[in-house]
Amino acid sequence: MYFIQRSTPRRCKHITAANPFQFAILRTTFSLTLLGLVALTVEARAEDPAVATVTVTAKKEPVVKKLDKTVYDVSNMARAANGTGQDVLQSTPGVSVTADGQIAVKGNTQVTVLVNGKPTAMMSGDERAVALQTMSGTDIASIEVITNPSAAYNANGGAIVNIVLKRNRKPGAHAQLKGSATDQGLWNAGASGDVTRKDISVHSNLAYRRDGTQKSRRSAVDWNNPVSGQAGSTVQTSEIFVRRKVQSAALGVDYALSDTDSLSLSASYNDRASRPLLDTLNVARNAAGKSIYHRISYGPNEQADDSASLSYSHQDAGTALKAMLQRSNTKGLIDKSYRDVFVEPARATSYSRGATRSARHLNQATLDWSRASGHGQWGMGLDIQDEVNDLYNYQASVDRLTGQETPDADTTNGYAVATTLSAAYITDQIRHGQWEALLGGRIERMALRVRPAQGAMQTGRWQAFNPSLHLKYAASDKTDLTLSYRRSLQRPDPRDLNPFTTYVDAQNLSRGNPGLKPQLLTSWEIGTDADMEHLSGSVSAFYRTSRDTVADARSFADNVLVTSKQNGGQARSAGVTGSLDWTPDAKLSLGMDGGVYRVVLSTPDLYGAVRQDGIAGYINLRASYNAGPDNLSLDAHGQTSSITPLGRHGATSNVNLSWKRQLTKTLSLTVNASDIFDGSKRTYRTDASTFRQTGYDHFVARRVYVGFVKKLE
């Protein structure tokens, strides 16, 4: 790795939020397409002659275990009918999701989320949680869980969760209407349709949601300055109900050029907007005395995503080729304007105007080829990604009489982070007797450019060869032994490369580090799978390490906690995971999975590295019962407390109940009760040399939705 500094000044382009007119045009286009599909459905039903037909049906396997991944069919999940993408992931074995959208796979929090096997702009950074919380669960066909990805995947340092969307290519026309509602005036409605005639298939969906979440937070910080001897404390509390409007649309076209060749075009658009009224009570104490004030803000907050992709596929006997071009964008606006109403000591209200505008543009080109061989299958491919993150921060004090704004030079800034990734991989799947192996290697070259609005551009370049290994030994027809290994780099989050200071809230500022390097992560896993007539289970052990780990570097200045990032930490974890599923008959199925693991962290602090050692675990329980037209399912989740760099997170739990009633062949009623016991409150603690912080985040997820699904076939 080498690092270069340049003195060329750059300016950061101005970023605008989502354009309502743009969405209106797209919504009209998608609506007309969808109405056309529905009309075709009705027309097809009216024109179809009454002829004798023979229908052959086969039950789809709910779980398919492959050499490098496990595929879970969620197309008929009761909770997905009117739930979100986060609901579906939370109900997937091996996956843990907190109420605020943090994802872990078998205890591994380094998780990349793909959509149809590819990264998108909306599934990166802080925007991912909101995207999953507003994605329609009924659009998801399956979830692929990949704990140790093969070299064919850009793992970015961790596990992968791949969301595979539904795509109905059955001949004829079909449509579906759905909707659900709950308290607080929250509801959602959507429609989807598809038509397949000869060589062409068109599918589209349109949805509108009024989401909402109640959030309460508390943070208490006791700080000290070892140089000056000064000390003090701040306490911050808030409670808010965030209401969000979400509009989404998607359109796809598949065209069969021949028996072996096809083209696919897809496009999607999502728009999210909220205007939260946030009242944060701040209490500060230091040598100068005590101050109490309310910091009140109104938003708005906006986020818009769009993506378009074109793919070509060729498949014949023994050979497969797929080429894809994709562009995705995410634009966001977080309004940080506020007014401070002082209680003690009493003084005039002060005003501030501020905002953070962001945009992420991801262009990707991939080429994947595979060919059957005498011993198995060869595979190779290319992956080129060009990602640009533009961020602009503005904060200014406002004269309450004249309205004149005075920008804060410390927190008004702009910068762009451009990342170019070029990768080539090769895999070789070998079958010999009872053995099966998947060998792989991936060469990656990464170029990083940080361009401040004012100042010198900084660049960094890295290259690495990352191997992967997957082995399976069939001990019997029902028992397999497995071993997997993967090494990969994890790129720094573009927001962590900010060379300036950013306002977060009255208690917090963030300051990036443009000199961050990628983390190097390795993972081993060994296990066994066994299947019997009504029972299946698995047990595995893992060992994971990370080097040059990115850790928080925190300091305290003027009663404000300043958080930056730095390399230098190390982490190790080792543990055991397992799963057990029992299906005594066609009506009842029971299952559980969980894990216990030990984590060791080494984190830089003021007086040197701090070593931590702790035990953590998770458990997921699930049950489903079918009785004629009724389906009742329950899933429960628990995560123990766990250590974090210089701190600890508290335990959380979640219990969900879903009931689906098939009223007619084409109409069903759904009732989803989420987080029945309200166990999503999560405490945290940090003990550093210069401060001690305790608090909690409570995202209230307890809610009961009643909805319907109507099919037109």
Percent of the chain with pLDDT over 90: 63
DSSP bridge partners of 485: 469, 524
pLDDT at 80 over 90: no
Query: HEC profile for 118-185?
Result: ECCHHHCCCHHHHHHHHCEHHHEEEEEEECCCCCCCCCCCCEEEEEEECCCCCCEEEEEEEEEECCCC
Q: Are 45 and 293 in contact (CB under 8 A)?
A: no
The answer for residues whose C-beta is within 8 angstroms of residue 278's C-beta and 6 or more apart is: 238, 240, 296, 297, 298, 299
Whether pLDDT at 484 is above 70:
yes
pLDDT attached to residue 560: 79
C-alpha distances (whole Å) from 417 to each of 143, 249, 414, 477, 552 are: 31, 29, 10, 52, 20
| Strand intervals (E) in 287-349 | 289-297, 301-316, 319-335, 338-344
What average pLDDT does range 315-320 have in this prediction?
A: 92
In this prediction, what percent of the chain has a pLDDT beyond 70?
Answer: 91
CA angle 559, 561, 567 (to 5 degrees): 150
Mean pLDDT is lowest, of 29-38, 94-103, 245-254, 318-327, for 29-38
User: By C-alpha distance, which of 93, 42, 50 is closest to 70?
Assistant: 93
Mean pLDDT check: name the lowest of 232-241, 303-312, 597-606. Answer: 597-606
Which pLDDT score is estimated for 35? Answer: 52
The type of residue at 247 is Q
Task: Report the DSSP beta bridge partners of residue 186.
Answer: none
Q: Looking at residue 491, what is its pLDDT?
A: 84
Give the model's pLDDT for residue 12.
Answer: 38
Residue 399 confidence (pLDDT) above 90: yes
Query: Which residues are CB-contacts of 122 (< 8 A; sequence separation ≥ 6)?
Result: 128, 131, 270, 305, 307, 328, 330
Give the lowest-confidence range in 106-115, 225-234, 301-310, 468-477: 225-234
Residue 40: predicted pLDDT: 47
HSE of 332, CA atoms in CB hemisphere, 13 A? 21
Measured CA angle at 265 (ends 89, 32), to 5 deg: 90
Mean local confidence (pLDDT), 144-172: 88
Give the Cβ contact number of residue 28 at 10 Å.
11
Separation between Cα atoms, residue 425 and residue 367, nearest integer Å: 10
**Close Cβ partners of 177 (under 8 Å, ≥ 6 residues apart):** 189, 190, 191, 709, 710, 712
Buried residues in 484-515 as b, exposed as e (16+ CB within 10 A): bbbbbbbbbbbbbbbbbbbbbbbbbbbbbbbb
3-class state of residue 495 by DSSP: helix
Is a pLDDT exceeding 90 seen at residue 553? Answer: no
| 202: number of Cβ within 10 Å | 20
| pTM of the shown model | 0.86
pLDDT, tens digit, for every residue of 126-147? 788 888 988 888 889 999 999 9
> Which of the four pLDDT bands, split at 50, 70 and 90, describes residue 45?
very low
Q: Please state which of the ranges 56-60, 87-91, 481-485, 609-613 shows the lowest mean pLDDT.
A: 56-60
Q: Which residue has the tokens 């010999």?
A: 432
Question: Mean pLDDT over residues 257-279, rounded?
Answer: 94
In this predicted model, what pLDDT tens digit does every residue of 631-689 receive, in sequence order?
999 999 999 999 998 999 999 999 999 999 999 999 999 999 999 999 999 999 999 88
b/e for 332-367, b at 16 or more Cβ within 10 A? bbbbbbbbbbeeeeeeeebbbbbbbbbbbbbbbebe
Tell me whether the omega of the peptide bond preceding residue 9 falls within 30 degrees of 0, making it cis.
Answer: no
Indicate the pLDDT class of residue 245, thresholds 50, 70 and 90. very high
Those residues with Cβ within 8 angstroms of residue 612's Cβ, 6 or more apart along the chain or in another chain: 599, 600, 601, 602, 603, 643, 645, 646
- Pick from 203, 200, 143, 209: which is nearest to 176 by CA? 203
Average pLDDT, the chain: 88
User: What is the CATH architecture of 2-46+60-712?
Assistant: Beta Barrel (2.40)
Instruction: Say yes or no to pLDDT of 94 above 50.
Output: yes
Determine which of 345-354, 389-398, 492-501 has the lowest per-residue pLDDT on average.
Answer: 492-501
Tally of CB atoms within 10 A around 241: 13
Confidence of residue 607 (pLDDT cuts 50, 70, 90): confident
pLDDT of 7 > 70? The answer is: no
413 vs 512, more confident: 413
Which pLDDT score, from 0 to 100, does residue 23 have? 47
Supply the pLDDT for residue 374. 86
Return the SS3 of 190.
strand
pLDDT above 90 for 541: yes
> Do residues 354 and 333 make contact, with C-beta atoms less than 8 angstroms apart?
no
Is the pLDDT assigned to residue 437 strictly greater than 50?
yes
* 159 touches 497 (CB < 8 A): no
- pLDDT at 564 (0 to 100): 83
Distance CA 320, CA 318 (A): 7
167-216 pLDDT tens trace? 877 888 999 999 999 999 999 999 999 999 989 999 999 999 999 899 99
* Tokens (6 digits) for 137: 């669960």
Three-class DSSP category at 27: helix
**Can you tell me the mean pLDDT for 400-409?**
92
Dmax (CA) for the chain in angstroms is 90
Structure tokens at 563: 């958080």
Q: Which residues of 29-59 are buried (b: 16+ CB within 10 A; e: fewer)?
A: ebeebbeebbebbeebeeeeeeeeeeeeeee
Q: What average pLDDT score do residues 29-36 get?
A: 50
Is the pLDDT reported for residue 37 higher than 60?
no
Average pLDDT over residues 518-535: 92
pLDDT at 434 over 90: yes
Residue 423's nearest CA partner among 449, 403, 445 is 445
Given a cut of 50, is residue 54 above it in pLDDT? Answer: no
Q: Is the pLDDT of residue 43 over 80?
A: no
Give residue 31's pLDDT. Answer: 52
Assess contact for 626 and 62: CB atoms under 8 A. Answer: no
Instruction: Return the pLDDT at 343.
Output: 96
Burial class (CB in 10 A: 0-12, 13-18, 19+), 665: exposed
Structure tokens at 317: 């006997």
Q: How confident is the model at residue 511 (pLDDT cuts 50, 70, 90)?
A: confident
**Please, which pLDDT band fits residue 340 given cuts at 50, 70 and 90?**
very high
Q: Is the pLDDT of residue 505 over 70?
A: yes
Long-range contacts of 112-116 (CB under 8 A, 24+ apart): 112/154, 112/155, 112/156, 112/157, 112/158, 112/159, 112/160, 112/161, 113/160, 113/161, 113/162, 113/163, 114/160, 114/161, 114/162, 114/163, 115/162, 115/163, 115/165, 116/162, 116/163, 116/164, 116/165
Q: Nearest 5 degrees, angle CA 563-CA 129-CA 591? A: 120
Residues in the chain: 713
711 Cα distance to chain centroid? 30
d(CA 538, CA 480): 9
